[in-house]
Amino acid sequence: MEKWRPTLAASVLALGLTACAPFHSIPPMPANLAEVSAPDQDKADASNRALWGIYADLAGTSRFSPRNGGTRLDWRWIRPGWILEETAYVKGVAEPLNTYILWRGEQAGVLYFQSSGLMGMAWKGTVQRDGSVLFEGAGPMSFPYQAVLAKDGAFEVRAAEIKEGALVSVRELVPADRYEKTSAALSSGGTKAAASAASAPVAAAQSANTAGTPTSGSVASGSSRSGGIVLTAAGLRAGEPKFDAAEQQQRNDALAKADEAASQAEIRLRTAQETLAAAKAESKKTENALKAMNDLQASFKPAPKTSEPGDFWSYCWYSVIQVDGKTSHTFVTNLINERIWTEPWPFLSPSGRRDFENYDGPNTPYRVEKRFEKAMQTSGLLPQHTAYASDCATYISLKSARDSYDGWRHNEPKPIYVVWKSLENEHLQGSMKLPTAEEAARLKQEAKDAEKRLKDAQAALRQEERQAALRKEDAQRARDCAAGQLKACPRGTKN
């Protein structure tokens, strides 16, 4: 026969929680119900989910936990709409393992729940909007939990943290605390014993009815109905696994330690994820800056279109001269793949000389310089000044143009580069600050360092993901062990 383990409230205890909700006083179970209710109304109240939550659906049914030694739970009305009995059976055993009583409070949606065994543990339940019920303990060993009816009809008990009547968090479901829907209600072994226990449900209450209300009378504390078993070593049948408090505490301590390790692993994992996100952002930023620098440099250092004679390249410059005669600012255009028709070179062919002599287009030296001066003076880039000097130059090859153009890098003051896309334009397209060689080298190194930090962060995240998964598995094994699944316990743990 499979091992059984404590169910419902006992399973919550077995989870090893170290704190419970504030204690609530539990009023006595109602007595003399015939005086305060009508059968028709009782029947309607029994199916009212606002009053009973999921228990309105569970009444008259059974649920079975294959992971909990074959434990079965049966629910039946002792008094419809007022008192519901929940009975736990172990597979192959006719006598009930334990019996629980639920009854309504005066306020709609409030239930009270007490065990005949388990040291008379008791809870106050509050029906939630989704029908689930939050149970808060009424004693030092009554730990809080949530009773849920899953979408597939399974009944689930989940340890919970409850603060001021509100659900704060729910612990991960222990597989053994999931009771699946059975094909037939109240039909398997042990039903006769449960039925015989229903003959005197209210007789277990004291007849201290002073006001004639559903809250008068009380349940005999710790009474054992339907053969309920108190879960202590002395109360278990011979041959069944014994409930050893010291061993259970050891398992609970191991669970707490494993949970803490899993929690710390999750924190490290989140830190690694945040570090990776920051590294990605930094890498992208430096990548974009490096690309912008390369594009800018390429725009001022174009590749030659041809090596044939006649591949003319030109540029212009403009210097601001202050009162003291010193140059305060110098502006230099980008290289432009166009010709300024200056004096012909000696090696030009006779036809080339004739072209020059006959040229009357827009790119004569005088016309180009006037357009450039106008473009500069209307650009908004110039400071106030009293004088200026400007000039333009043209070259028959890109190499010779670059040799001259690169010399401006060593000029003082450092030139400000302006974008002039064509010699015929009357306006500039903007200005750019080309990085110095030192700035370019530093930016490239920053991009390289950012890429390395990104790779390191990716590797660290993979490591933390593996560690978090391992710690989570350890915690689950510890949880299963504390819940009574001895196969999950480390070797050497006592059974």
Helix ranges (H only) for 36-132 are 39-46, 49-52, 55-58
Rounded (5°) CA angle 314-316-321: 165
Show Cβ contacts of residue 220 under 8 Å, excluding neighbours closer than 6 positions: 204, 205, 206
Please say whether the dihedral angle defined by the alpha carbons of residues 117, 123, 127 and 128, taken in this order, is positive or negative. negative
Q: Is pLDDT of 184 > 50?
A: no
What is the average pLDDT across 410-435? 82
Is the separation of the CB atoms in 468 and 262 below 8 Å? yes
In the prediction, which pLDDT does 402 show?
86
Is the separation of the CB atoms in 4 and 68 below 8 Å? yes
Q: Which residue has the higher pLDDT, 295 or 150?
A: 150
What is the average pLDDT across 107-135? 84
In the prediction, which pLDDT does 183 show?
52
Give tens-digit pLDDT for 140-179: 556 889 999 999 999 999 988 888 778 888 888 888 789 9
The overall average pLDDT reported for the chain is 74
Please give the Cα distance from 381 to 432 (Å, whole number). 11
Please give the Cα distance from 372 to 364 (Å, whole number). 12
Quickly tell me which residue has 């849920």 as its tokens.
Answer: 148
Q: Is pLDDT of 127 > 80?
A: yes
Residue 164 buriedness (CB in 10 A; 0-12 / 13-18 / 19+) = exposed
> 95-104, 345-354, 401-410 — which is least confidently predicted?
345-354
CA-closest candidate to residue 104, choices 28, 191, 208: 28
Cis peptide before 413 (omega within 30 of 0): yes
What is the average pLDDT across 336-357? 74
CA-closest candidate to residue 132, choices 144, 150, 114: 150
Is the separation of the CB atoms in 47 and 56 below 8 Å? yes
**What's the farthest any 2 CA atoms get from each other in the chain?**
133
| Confidence category of residue 302, pLDDT binned at 50, 70, 90 | low
H or E element at residue 261:
helix 245-300
In the prediction, which pLDDT does 45 show?
80
CB-side neighbour CA atoms (13 Å) of 112: 25
What is the average pLDDT across 286-305? 72
Neighbour count for residue 431 (Cβ, 10 Å): 13
Give tens-digit pLDDT for 28-80: 666 555 445 566 777 778 788 889 999 999 999 999 888 766 788 999 998 88
Q: Is pLDDT of 367 > 90?
A: yes
What is the average pLDDT across 94-107? 86
Please give the Cα distance from 481 to 488 (Å, whole number). 5
In the prediction, which pLDDT does 310 show?
60
Give tens-digit pLDDT for 257-282: 888 888 898 899 889 899 999 999 99
Please give the Cα distance from 64 to 156 (Å, whole number). 11
In the prediction, which pLDDT does 201 show?
32
Show Cβ contacts of residue 344 under 8 Å, excluding neighbours closer than 6 positions: 352, 353, 356
In the prediction, which pLDDT does 493 show?
47
> 29-43, 374-388, 400-414 — which is least confidently predicted?
29-43
Give tens-digit pLDDT for 228-266: 323 233 333 333 344 467 777 787 888 888 888 888 988
Residue 438, helix vs strand vs coil: helix
Is the separation of the CB atoms in 123 and 108 below 8 Å? no
In the prediction, which pLDDT does 230 show?
30
Give tens-digit pLDDT for 467-495: 999 998 888 888 888 777 767 777 654 44
H or E element at residue 359:
none
| Confidence category of residue 134, pLDDT binned at 50, 70, 90 | very high
Show Cβ contacts of residue 442 under 8 Å, excluding neighbours closer than 6 positions: none
Pairing of strands 327-333, 416-419: parallel
> 83-87, 194-198, 378-382, 400-404 — which is least confidently predicted?
194-198
Please give the Cα distance from 459 to 465 (Å, whole number). 10
Give tens-digit pLDDT for 107-116: 889 999 887 7
Is the separation of the CB atoms in 483 and 11 below 8 Å? yes
In the prediction, which pLDDT does 238 show?
35
Q: Is pLDDT of 429 > 60?
A: yes
Is the separation of the CB atoms in 147 and 86 below 8 Å? no
